[in-house]
Structure 1
Amino acid sequence: MRARIGDTVYAEAPESDLIRIEGNWYFPPASVDFSLLQESPTPYTCPWKGECQYYSVHEGDQTLADRAWAYPTPYPTGIERVGRDFSGYLAFWKEVEVA
């Protein structure tokens, strides 16, 4: 599967390596091109997953704020709920097509 906008690929991995949580595909960190992302200061803590790290994605000369996110150290109960450790896995939103 790929996370992309047009020809720009932000992450690519076999579907079997991804984790689906609440309708979003989470890519393993090793499959993500972090050179195309920028850490965002936007704060958020999910009540069951833990503290979130947002990323903005770069598309050409445009920066799309908070279009990716990860849980670097999810709550142990969140990992238990998902059934797999999703530490650092990234999901994408809005303009980023995942297929």
Structure 2
Amino acid sequence: MKAIWNNTVIAESSNTRIVESNHYFPPEDIKTEYLKPSDHHSRCPWKGKASYYHVQVNGEINKDAAWYYPSASHAAKPIENYIAFWNGVKITE
């Protein structure tokens, strides 16, 4: 699977984990030079508190377009620190 934004592959993995129709990419398969920390957080009733990254490619910023669970709940431990994308980031094979 690939995560693509602004014509750039920002993640590529054959080991994504799918939860609620979202592909979560292992941290080692992320091109972290395209991620910038965000102060935004949200809470999922069963996964816990999510943290976000802005995706930045070629000077353009897609705010809060990536999220992850740094301290996932027991039920969501398999995706702890794995990163998922949305807000225009295309996920494709």
Q: Unaligned regions of 5+ residues in structure 1, if any?
A: 80-84
Normalising by structure 1, we get a TM-score of: 0.86
Identical-pair percentage: 35
Q: In the alignment, what sits opposite 2:76?
A: 78
Query: Which stretches of structure 1, 4 residues or more, deviate above 6 A after TM superposition?
Result: none
CA distance in 2, matches of 1:26, 1:46: 15
Query: Does 2:23 match 1:22?
Result: no
Mind listing any 5+ residue stretches in structure 2 that lack a counterpart? none
- Report the residue type matching 2:35 in the other structure: L
CA drift at 1:46: 1.1
More strand by share: 2
Aligned-pair Cα RMSD in Å: 1.2
SS in 1 for 2:66: strand
Alpha-carbon separation, structure 1, partners of 2:59 and 2:8:
12
Query: Which residue number corresponds to residue 96 of structure 1?
Result: 89
Question: Which letter maps to 1:42?
Answer: H
TM-score normalised by structure 2 residue count: 0.91
State the shift of 1:47 in Å.
Answer: 1.1
Secondary structure of 1:72 counterpart = coil
Equivalenced residues, count? 92
User: For residues 20-70 of structure 1, what are the alpha-carbon distances to aligned partners after superposition, in whole Å with 9 as ceiling and x for unaligned?
Assistant: 111111100100011100111012121110111111001212111000000
